[in-house]
Amino acid sequence: MRERRFSPASYGGGPSSALPERKQTILKMTRTSTNLGVDGGRLWADIMALANITDAAAPYTRRSFSKLFLDGRQWLTHRFHEAGLATRIDTAGNLIGRIEGSDPQAGTIIIGSHSDTVPSGGRFDGIAGVAAGLEIARVLRERNIVLRHALEIIDFLAEEPSEYGVSCVGSRGMSGKLTAAQLQFSNQQGERLEQALARVGGDASRLAQARRTDIRAAFELHIEQGTVLEGGGIDVGLVTAIVGITRIEIVFEGAAGHAGATPMHRRHDALVAAARLVDRVRILAEEFAGRGKGYFVATTGVLEAKPNASNVIPGTARLVIDARSELREDLVEFRERLDKESLGVAQAASVERAAFQTLSDALPSACDEGLRHLLKAAAARLGLSFVDIASGAGHDAAFLSQIAPAAMVFIACKEGASHCPEEWSEPEEITAGTAVILETVLAFDRGGDQSFVPAAPH
């Protein structure tokens, strides 16, 4: 099939309009006429069943560490067992189903994503990747195929930002990037991350045991969360790189006071400083993105004021800024600029900048070129169209790429909608992406391991 390449700038703009009816028909015919080798109906049923384990008042919600999350994992564990997988939870809280390979020295191939969601999220983000791995394991068993490598299907813990201010908890733990300081982060109820980890079957005191050196290839299927595939009528996207993500918490401290009795010149309004900084984040992000060197975005996603009453001047304001870029140097410079800007707005508003800390800092990650070559060959054999594409969102594969060759396959999602109830991918799209990974796993297993040099520590 002809390959096309899109730059990270393709992620700009709003949702695409609906595909022309003729193009939709062609896509449908292409996918249904191809022998993909996986049971799309069974795969779809798994995704829908897991989606039904949700907060009925806010579908589709299954937050990490919650009872619903544990219910979902219980369901997954049952399905793993049915597929003949030996199941365990590692010390980083990852749910792992394993089939041994014929060669104990060959190492492990892993396929996985996550089953947790954002509040009022979608049915496919993360879940499709776990279900795809499960379906691949079932197909291998039904065909009586024993891989040379061991195969693991993994539901990584808390890929989405958790109540503890950390995302990708499980893949950080597996790659040795979950720090002692992060384990001490707490939620609003005062529970520390290390305590929450124990609640879901992990063990912070033995976290080092989750670190892996046996992984020879890691694959993740995910919805695109953009409109490149849908807009171009392309079956699958082969990810070139995953952006680095830095999250920064800033707290301003002023003085609460009566909204009517405190003269304007005597106010120490923490929210004024925060509001000015929100504007500066946008201006800085536009400057960095406009340089044309690579993908860059920044968002003030959390803004809290206390005491949060209409007749009280805010005495405290807290912000969390999320910055993403393909270029590590841009993230470092952005943090330095934000440090200076936050001090400046604090002084101008007559308040104190009480805190400036990095909550998490994930490096930009390139997908393995050897695995991407195998994915392209697999898509071509299946008669599927494909395109090179960068990921503007973070994924567990970003952490895995620091300890093993890792690659991602994107599938289309309607109008690019993600992290919302309207999130949608067609059964044929999920089946196609799963088939590409299955073919690639078989090819990799036949072809042997690749050489891999882990990223230098930072």
Tens digits of residue pLDDT in 176-191: 999 999 999 999 999 9
Residue 456 has pLDDT above 50, yes or no: no
Query: Minimal CA–CA distance to 427: which of 32, 84, 94?
Result: 32
CA separation, residue 403 to residues 71, 154, 431 (Å): 30, 16, 28
The model's pTM: 0.78
- Number of helices (H), then strands (E), in the chain: 13, 16
Query: Contact at 8 Å (CB) between 47 and 123?
Result: yes
Question: Which residue in this structure is represented by tokens 């912000």?
Answer: 319
DSSP 117-165: --TT--SSTTHHHHHHHHHHHHHHHHTT---SSEEEEEE-TT-S--TTS
What is the per-residue pLDDT across 202-232, written as a single tens digit (0 to 9) for each? 999 999 999 999 999 999 999 999 999 999 9
The whole-chain average pLDDT of the chain stands at 90
pLDDT in tens, 24-47: 433 443 443 346 899 999 999 999
CB-based burial, 337-364: b 16+ in 10 Å, e otherwise:
ebeebbeebbeebbbbbeeeeebbbbbb
Higher confidence at residue 336 or residue 1? 336
* Cβ 158 vs Cβ 256: under 8 Å: no
- Per-residue pLDDT of 144-155, as tens digits, reads 999 999 999 999
Q: What's the chain's length in residues? A: 458
pLDDT digits (tens, 9 = 90+) for 8-20: 333 233 333 333 3
Q: What is the amino acid identity at position 84?
A: G
Which domains, and CATH codes, for the chain? 3-243+364-447 (3.40.630.10), 244-362 (3.30.70.360)
Structure tokens at 304: 């809290």
How, if at all, do strands 365-366 and 108-113 pair? unpaired
pLDDT at 449: 54
**Residue pLDDT, tens place only, 75-84:** 999 999 999 9
